Amino acid sequence: MDTNLKFIGKISSGFKHRSECPRQPSSNLEPAQLIINKDFLHAAEGLHIGDEIYIFTWLHKSDRNILKCHPRGDKNIPKKGVFATRSPDRPNPIGLHRVRILNIHDNVFTIHPIEVMDNTPVIDIKIVSYGRYKIHFGPYIDGKIAMEIKKTGYRAWLRGLISGVNGNISALDNDGHMVITNSGVNKGMIEPGDLAAYDMVGDRVLYGNPSSEYRMHINIYKNQSRARAILHTHPLNIIIASEKFNNFLEKIEVFEKEIFLEKIGFVEPLKPGSLELAQAVGKLSVKKQLIVLKEHGLIVYGKTLKECLSLSEELEKLAEMANKLF
């Protein structure tokens, strides 16, 4: 049985000493480089920009004799066995890092985020598998979220909630990034290259050309902690009913009406894409989950895009009922 490790590459980072390394990775870290030894470069064929990968490192500065430690180095916390912690000091000091590939040039892969020392040896790389979600939509863009946005756009188009290039869709990932449709994209036919990534912490575009309504999405996410996904559509019946009535729900008598009356809010006509509209919607989202933009459309937030789409469909049916009755 061969138990010898082969170092397949190394990490090039800005951390020159172990004391400089953060305890956990974060979106605020600078990108680093994974440098693969050219003898193993064929093993990296099939990896692409935008892929998420697991990198296994050999934490060569670790103490292999330590079996217990204070979690996170906090001496106020009782010691635990190192197998119950993420301590780099352990019998076999293997580090596990989930990163995204930002760029590839020959044998140098720019990656983010990773918190290890410069020249840390790499012992293995594995792709993060999404099964059928394994489609490359671009750097910083989670494949599973991208596929949910793609499916939601198609279903919203199929149900007549959006047409052409109107509307926009977004969702948050676990790294503090907002994935949002690009400006001028047909939401019924979203493809790789049609999505953008925005850093919510650093307030900057990471990739793509986000929808002109991106500030409206940002204001909702910053004002409403429950929001993890947002769907903005242009439903015909809702637009017509909101022009005819101050609140079209008050014109109909169905059970569902009472549920939606608590959730719905209205914003008077403001220029699409404007900061004034973004701020008005963000303020209203503190209390209301479904916001009708008069002469414009509907914006809904939720924990998932599935929830946003379901609520949008139901409200459009209620508006259709009000339009037919009056």
Supply the residues annotated as catalytic. Answer: 213
Q: Specify whether the CB–CB gap between 229 and 305 falls below 8 A.
A: yes
Q: Specify whether the CB–CB gap between 231 and 300 falls below 8 A.
A: yes
Going through 37-152 in order, the beta strands assigned E by DSSP cover: 52-58, 68-69, 80-81, 94-105, 108-112, 120-127
**Cα separation, 24 vs 18, whole angstroms:** 13
End-to-end CA distance of the chain: 81
> What stretches of the chain show up as alpha helix (H) in DSSP?
143-158, 214-223, 236-244, 255-263, 275-284, 305-325
Q: Specify whether the CB–CB gap between 219 and 275 falls below 8 A.
A: no
